[in-house]
Amino acid sequence: VTRAQYLGDIRAAADFARRQSWARADRLGVTGFCGGGALTLHTAAEYPGVSAAAPWYGHVKRVYRDAPGVDAFSLIDRITMPVLGLYGDADPGIPSDDVRRFESELRKRNPNVEFILYPGAPHAFFSDDRPQVYKKEASEDAWKRLLAFFGKHLRA
């Protein structure tokens, strides 16, 4: 699937949700896991009106075949909303140094950024259906942080 198709699908879903009577159209939070975490950062940069973004172990260097060279680093200037990043410090596919560097670069332009690297947590540490990677303490802490983060930035 191309980046354009992913972002188009996300835009269609968000546009639909915003039109619902129960929705607060002026508040939009995005979150996703793994590939969805990477898309969380891309959506935050590309979709107008994102109020808060929370990627879960989303690749900060992921590119798509229809957008070579477009990774999260290249989008930093457009990620202006609060961001909470939830990452495993033992993720072999997303080096902690990349996460720290991304957070540092993003923080230069956006002070409302926090990235958590959970010690000993691998990629997909929230997947409670995968005992080989699930980390209960990290998952519970990350979920509490996510709820507090969205509560602060989407309910106010």
Active-site annotation, residues: 34, 91, 123
Q: Return d(Cα 115, Cα 81) in angstroms, integer.
A: 14
| Secondary structure (3-state) at 115 | strand
Beta-bridged to residue 55, according to DSSP, are 32
